[in-house]
Amino acid sequence: MKKLLAALLSGLVILATAPSIAKSFEEGLQYVPIQPQPAVGTGNEVEVVEFFWYGCPHCRDFEPTVSQWAQSLPENVKFSQVPVMFGGAADLHAQMYYSLESMGELQRLHEKLFHAMHVQKLKLRSLAEIEAFLQENGVDIEQFSRTMNSFAVAAKVNRARALMRRYGIRGVPALVVDGRYRSGKGFASYQEMTEVADHMVDKVLAQRQEQAK
């Protein structure tokens, strides 16, 4: 629980007050190069990843903004979400996330999980609590249990944990673009987080064009 609280406190820094009129973003402040920097990619397809946790109030508040933003992205920008593992309930929620994804239930229940934890005040800190919630929402619990213990889910959880380490994720919500840049701090609003993501995407594409010359 101490790890989870520390991560949430780190997330609070992400939304530190900044002048709302400033729309220029500073490397090292609003976005940070990930070290070591990977090789510059090719083509025009760019990946944006949001790291989040269902128990994080900032992630819950950010969800409507990032969801709307993701729906308006151009075809060459691919958005995905990765649940973080800071220990305890967060690790269990990551397993749940990938299990529901494998079952085709994630899209239906994603927002309901945020609502359950932050509006209904359900803790969902144990497998029993999670299964009770899912059963109430029409999930086949036997299938869920099998999926939770599957090799496929274990592989996705391990990959998510490796990405967290690689990208230096210590607080959420956090956005990573092309594995090269991570959102930083000093934002006046959640919308500015998506604006800096657009800036990072443009920067990555400009780097690729420069390399191709």
Q: Tell me the pLDDT tens digit for each residue of 55-76.
A: 999 999 999 999 999 999 999 9
What are the structural domain ranges in the chain?
A: 2-12+46-212
Rounded to the nearest 5 degrees, what angle is found at the Cα of 193, between the Cα atoms of 190 and 196? 155
Q: How many CA atoms are closer than 13 Å to the CA of 198, on its beta-carbon side?
A: 13
Fold held by 2-12+46-212:
Glutaredoxin (3.40.30)
Would the pTM of this model clear 0.85, i.e. be above it? yes
Distance CA 117, CA 130 (A): 11
Per-residue pLDDT reduced to its tens digit, 166-196: 999 999 999 999 999 999 998 999 999 999 9
Q: Render pLDDT for 135-173 as a digit per residue (tens, 0 to 9).
A: 999 999 999 999 999 999 999 999 999 999 999 999 999
For residue 140 the two structure tokens come to: 């086949």
Cβ atoms of 112 and 26 closer than 8 Å? no
